[in-house]
Amino acid sequence: MLKLSLRDLRAHLGRYALTFFAVAIGVGFVAGVITLTDTISRTLDDLYAGLNGGTDVAVRGPGQFELGPEFGGGVQRPRIPASLAEQLTDLDGVAAAEGYVQGYARPIRPDGEPYGNPNFGAPTIGTNWGVVDELNPFELVEGRAPSGPDEIVFDKRTADQTGYRVGDTATVQTASGVREATLVGIARFGSTDSPAGAAITLFDNATAQAMLAMPGQVDTIAIVAEDGASPVAVRDTVRSELAGTDLDVVTGEELIAESQATAQETFDGVRTFLLVFALISVLVGTFVIYTSFSFIVAQRQRQVALLRAIGASRAQVLTTVVVESLAVGVLASVVGYVLGVALSAGLAGAFVPGSSAVVEPRSFGIALAVGVVVTVTSAFVPAARASKVPPVAALRDVAIDTSSRSIGRLLLGGSLAVAGAGLLGAGIARIEVRDLSPLRVSGLGMGGLFVGTIVLGPVLARPASLGLGRPLPRLRGIVGRLAQQNAARNPRRTASTAAALMIGLGIVSLFLVVNASLRASLDDTVDNRFSGDVVIDSGTGYTGGGLPGLVAHEVNALPEVDAASGVRFGFAQIAGRSVAVGGVDPETAFDLFDVDVTAGDVADLDHDGIGIFGKTADAHGWRVGDRVTAVFGEAGPVELTVAVLFDSKDLTGAYVLGTEAFDLNLPAAGDMQIWIRLAEGVSVERAEAVLEPLVATFPSAEVQDVGEFKASVKAQYDIILVLVNALLALTIVIAMIGIVNTLVLSVVERTREIGLTRAVGASRGQVRATIRWEALLIASFGLVVALAVGVLFGWVLVRMLADEGFSAFALPVTQLLAFTALTGVLTLAAAVVPAVWAGRRRILSAIADR
Amino acid sequence: MPTVAAGTVHATKVYGEDDTAVVALDDVTVGFPAGRFTAIMGPSGSGKSTLMHCLAGLDSLTSGQAFIGDVDLGSLSERRLTRLRRDRVGFVFQAFNLVPTLTALENITLPLALAGRDPDRRWLDHVVDTVDLRPRLDHRPAQLSGGQQQRVAVARALASRPSIIFADEPTGNLDSRSSAEILSFMRRAVDDLAQTIVMVTHDPSAASYAHHVLFLADGRIVDEMPTPSADAVLDRIKRLDRSGRT
């Protein structure tokens, strides 16, 4: 009897170990995300505090409009004259004033390759070396300050990474072109080598203005107050001096708070994104915990039923389970928290060099709460259900799982699924429900359908296992038959195990479909809407720089080129929303790009003409000839005339200006790409030979044929896919732990049966194969639903976003097959230990346990 | 002289070590003749189940040898032992005899299915009719009465025409009518179908269905009785109990 109890206890420990892992991984993920984002968040705060630490008062251009967080946020303002500094220095209380300017500047490595990647990494920024010490956040560690147009200073990290040393000639690419200059100094930012890992190039004041903005123009005048003068008083003095202008005057503290808020707002998107994945993994963990405790409760139920026969209370079953789950939850949360924090500290170091992990008490509270609530709740539900079972039924040898026949479950799951399907249909039919957009309606529908499917899981599990397992008896004989029956006999357990897998795999397959469709849409757009052969990509992305307009002119002038148009982007506020505005050469672009012009004349895209995407125009009631006000950061509000309406915005965005209007209102932006159609009979090779020299001085620019261009854009899509898959990997690991867990529970539960089959002649190999096939059946139930859900939701999403760049739907068959195979391999790996364990069960102890 | 279907030579089985060692079998040499129905009786702890488990290859001896036919079980690997059980031994246990997810017919043919062999149709029909299960073949164990379940178990044991069938308290959980039914099926299997059965039991009336009864006490064979009657067996048991107590 003691032997039996010991064996029981050991089995229990094993069960708790897996539950423990599931909780710990989920909690660790949450804690890790919180710590990581807290750390980055603190780094951002420190960055802005450090950048503006010496500033007591700042003067800036008037705010024109606030950019949406999707574009990086912040109030857009025009630049102001640098000469204001001298005027303000004479004021009472002002000790010193100096203009600051910032812009795109990307160091080029000695081997000619650009350093840093502003699209997917820390920014590459150029700014001026302030001569007023209190205002300059940088400190030289080597060499001296830059002076004159041919001298620069790098931050220490950039110098270390590129290998440039003081005295070297270094190259820097800015919006106004490429400059070779002597590196005269290396500087640190506070206690770090570089502010948040950014690549910083420092010029003297006049050079910075000329390179990054316009000569004589700065973003901000920073003012140092005299000793004893309060920043607020100085601000008010400056304000009254500047009364009558529209300039904006704030204290340094206000400036810091504002820039921190903007950075945080933008960063919130990232935080939410990561937290969603962390919470998904916790959700998946709940299925594992739930399965474990259902089993523990079922086993205990017989004991308790016996006890109750002699007068024990019903609450006992609840209390013991809750106490045990509490212990598991607390312990696992603490372990998960420590692991998560340790891991994220390492990650934070990788993302933001020089940062140290920020561990707030809050994150521990959240981690503990998540872990405990999830564990106790997942344990309480089966315990509560068990306590309702009459003792006589509980004494039966094999607990009868009736969930597949539960009317309540059928009603709830069914109505959720039906309502979800209805909303999904409504969304596809572009019907708004209340004030939700069709996209959100369909999103809600997807959610309802998915949750409904999971609720219906136990109802579906039995027919699904039997159905999916139908070929097994023929293929694998009695082993297959046993596996098929075993997967079907405990529908609730099979369902929750499969559901855990379903969530992770469903999201992965959704992203695979979306990614494939994005790629197909890119192919579709470039192949069908662009009549050219070659694209010059600036390599600077949206963030700045771009190729000067001159390059596009030179390209157009080549005899090898039939037509070429630059495409550039800037921001504006139109009809109250911040939007991206494209700029193209109206003489060539509409010949190169088939954007389905439906009204107007592209020749009208002059100094005040604007082209608008048809559906956007319809939504606002704009027609050709109407006047539309656009607010630009530099130029302020400008009245434009609607010149053209078009039906495809995949290449240019919803708003397009001709080059003339664009340069008037958004003078800082260069061409992100130049799209080129070659003259008749000119080969791509020959074209490349003549085009390369034109961009030789822009190291980040690349001349690509259409295929190369598409490949490079797709590579960027793939980065996102890889990131998402990496984030889901933990979720899938938890789901696999769920499979191990379920198999172990099944083996424990079927010890006698396994012993019996062994006694009558099943080999260990046959026992193991039965377990493996059962695992594969459970996983394939999860996988089939996941694939169905992923493909269906992917299709809906692509349909709903047809105007937002998803012009084509594609099914990534190879990837989905590979992904199916991978799931199979992982499942078999998960089944190894339970299968071996089952094979090793001693026959005698199995059949002699009475 | 009948051939020996199974037997032991100087079989000793000791559980535990040193101080806690318990001798379950103490130098037992015995042969079970083919074509006979033998019952093993004895008080709890007499070693009768251990003897059967060791004979069936479910447990190993501490010393001595156990044979099925002329195969020395101690010389077999785990894999060969499994194959031997599957092909040459049939089992009927007291309870949990059947796989609950399989039908009666599937349970009957389970050893054959595990071996990947097709059942001999005529033999199978014969067995099914002998145990009177034809209308129940598609039923799951949960849909069968206790007596019917044991009949399925007996049919399974017979289905592969094993050299020997071991039955461990096959009627331990049954009422007297079902018990009588099962036992007469077993007897008929031996008499009509020429099978060999070794049955462990502590029920004298069950033992009375056998051709021959062995009595075990303290791990040794202490007596035997040909053509037993329930009363004679009961009488002998009482004497054994008394001698065990002195």
- Write out pLDDT tens, residues A680-728: 989 999 999 999 998 888 888 889 999 999 998 898 888 888 888 888 8
Residues 6+ apart with CB under 8 A from A802: none
For A604-623, what is each residue's pLDDT tens digit? 999 899 999 999 999 999 99
Closest CA–CA distance from residue B161 to any residue of chain A (Å): 13
User: Which comes out higher in pLDDT, residue A103 or A517?
Assistant: A517
Residue B91: list chain A partners with CB under 8 A.
759-760
Mean pLDDT, rounded, for B96-123: 88
Mean pLDDT, rounded, for A178-183: 89
Using only the alpha carbons of chain B, give its radius of gyration.
Answer: 18
Nearest-angstrom CA–CA distance, A437 and A434: 9
For A780-826, what is each residue's pLDDT tens digit? 999 999 999 999 999 999 988 888 888 899 999 999 999 899 999 99
Q: What does the DSSP assignment read for A25-63?
A: HHHHHHHHHHHHHHHHHHHHHHHHHHHTTT-SEEEEPPP
Closest CA–CA distance from residue B79 to any residue of chain A (Å): 7
For B204-220, what is each residue's pLDDT tens digit? 888 889 999 999 888 88
Minimum Cα–Cα distance from B87: chain A residue: A761
Nearest to A816 by CA among A824, A807, A806, A827: A824
Mean pLDDT, rounded, for A832-841: 86
Least confident of A14-18, A184-188, A274-278: A14-18
Inter-residue contact A762 to B114 (CB < 8 Å)? yes
Nearest to A30 by CA among A456, A437, A369: A369
Mean pLDDT, rounded, for A409-432: 88
In this predicted structure, the answer to whether residue A352 has a pLDDT above a threshold of 70 is no
Q: How confident is the model at residue A849 (pLDDT cuts 50, 70, 90)?
A: very low
Nearest-angstrom CA–CA distance, A351 and A122: 9
For A28-62, what is each residue's pLDDT tens digit? 999 988 888 888 888 888 888 888 888 999 999 99
Both structure tokens of A471: 């070929």
Percent of residues, chain A, with pLDDT higher than 70: 92
Mutate to test the interface with B, among A476, A760, A768 (most CBs of B within 10 A): A760
Q: Are strands B220-226 and A702-705 parallel, antiparallel or unpaired?
A: unpaired
Tell whether A466 lies on the interface with B, counting CB pairs under 8 A. no
In this predicted structure, the answer to whether residue A830 has a pLDDT above a threshold of 80 is yes
pLDDT on residue A475: 85
pLDDT on residue A167: 92
For A530-588, what is each residue's pLDDT tens digit? 999 999 998 877 666 788 888 899 999 999 999 999 999 989 999 989 999 999 999 99
With CB atoms and an 8 Å threshold, state whether B115 touches A761. yes
Residue B164 falls in which region: left (phi positive, over 0), alpha (psi -120 to 50) or beta: beta
Residue B87: list chain A partners with CB under 8 A.
761
Minimum Cα–Cα distance from B52: chain A residue: A844
Tell whether A845 lies on the interface with B, counting CB pairs under 8 A. no
CATH of segment(s) B4-245: 3.40.50.300
Minimum Cα–Cα distance from A750: chain B residue: B99
Closest CA–CA distance from residue A470 to any residue of chain B (Å): 15
In this predicted structure, the answer to whether residue B106 has a pLDDT above a threshold of 70 is yes
Chain B residue set in contact with A, beta carbons under 8 Å: 53, 56, 58-59, 78-79, 82-83, 85-87, 90-91, 93, 95-102, 106, 110-111, 113-116, 156
Least confident of A126-130, A193-197, A368-372, A814-818: A193-197
For B43-84, what is each residue's pLDDT tens digit? 888 888 889 889 888 888 898 999 998 889 888 888 888 888
pLDDT on residue A774: 93
Residue A792 falls in which region: left (phi positive, over 0), alpha (psi -120 to 50) or beta: alpha
Q: Which of B83, B90, B96 has the CB atom closest to A756's CB atom?
A: B96
In this predicted structure, the answer to whether residue A428 has a pLDDT above a threshold of 90 is no
Q: Which helix (H) or strand (E) holds B98?
A: none
In this predicted structure, the answer to whether residue A668 has a pLDDT above a threshold of 80 is no
Residue A758: list chain B partners with CB under 8 A.
82
Residues 6+ apart with CB under 8 A from B190: B35, B36, B37, B196, B197, B211
Please give the backbone phi and psi of residue A550, each rounded to the nearest 5 degrees, phi first.
-55, -35
Mutate to test the interface with A, among B102, B110, B173 (most CBs of A within 10 A): B110
Length of chain B: 246
Nearest to A348 by CA among A720, A38, A29: A38
Listed in order, strand segments (DSSP E) in A45-176 are 57-60, 65-66, 75-76, 80-81, 94-100, 102-108, 124-128, 138-143, 151-155, 169-174
Across the A/B interface, how many CB contacts are shorter than 8 Å? Answer: 72
pTM, two decimal places: 0.85
Using only the alpha carbons of chain A, give its radius of gyration.
Answer: 33
Residue A478: list chain B partners with CB under 8 A.
106, 110, 113-114
pLDDT on residue A4: 42
Residue type, A143: G
Domain boundaries, chain B: 4-245
Tell whether A756 lies on the interface with B, counting CB pairs under 8 A. yes
Q: What does the DSSP assignment read for A239-275?
A: HHHTBTB--EEEEHHHHHHHHHHHHHHHHHHHHHHHH
Domain boundaries, chain A: 56-264, 456-529+709-850, 539-700
Mean pLDDT, rounded, for B155-171: 89
Tell whether A486 lies on the interface with B, counting CB pairs under 8 A. yes
With CB atoms and an 8 Å threshold, state whether A753 touches B111. no
pLDDT on residue B1: 43
Minimum Cα–Cα distance from A479: chain B residue: B114
In this predicted structure, the answer to whether residue A364 has a pLDDT above a threshold of 50 is yes
With CB atoms and an 8 Å threshold, state whether B87 touches A843. no
Tell whether A700 lies on the interface with B, counting CB pairs under 8 A. no
In this predicted structure, the answer to whether residue A1 has a pLDDT above a threshold of 70 is no
A580 has which bridge partners? A571
Positive or negative, the CA dihedral A137, A138, A144, A148 is negative
Residue B97: list chain A partners with CB under 8 A.
756
Percent of residues, chain B, with pLDDT higher than 90: 15
pLDDT on residue A598: 92
Nearest-angstrom CA–CA distance, A73 and A66: 7
Minimum Cα–Cα distance from B118: chain A residue: A477
Mean pLDDT, rounded, for A234-244: 90
Residue A705 falls in which region: left (phi positive, over 0), alpha (psi -120 to 50) or beta: beta
In this predicted structure, the answer to whether residue A6 has a pLDDT above a threshold of 50 is no
pLDDT on residue A542: 67
For A282-329, what is each residue's pLDDT tens digit? 888 888 888 888 877 777 766 666 666 666 666 766 777 788 888 888
Residue B79: list chain A partners with CB under 8 A.
763
Q: Which of B83, B91, B102 has the CB atom closest to A759's CB atom?
A: B91
> What do you get for the CA distance between the two ends of chain B, in Å?
38
pLDDT on residue A185: 93
In this predicted structure, the answer to whether residue A403 has a pLDDT above a threshold of 60 is no
- Please calculate the CA angle A128-A134-A137 and round it to the nearest 5 degrees: 50
Nearest-angstrom CA–CA distance, A595 and A645: 9
Nearest-angstrom CA–CA distance, A275 and A35: 11
User: Which comes out higher in pLDDT, residue A224 or A430?
Assistant: A224
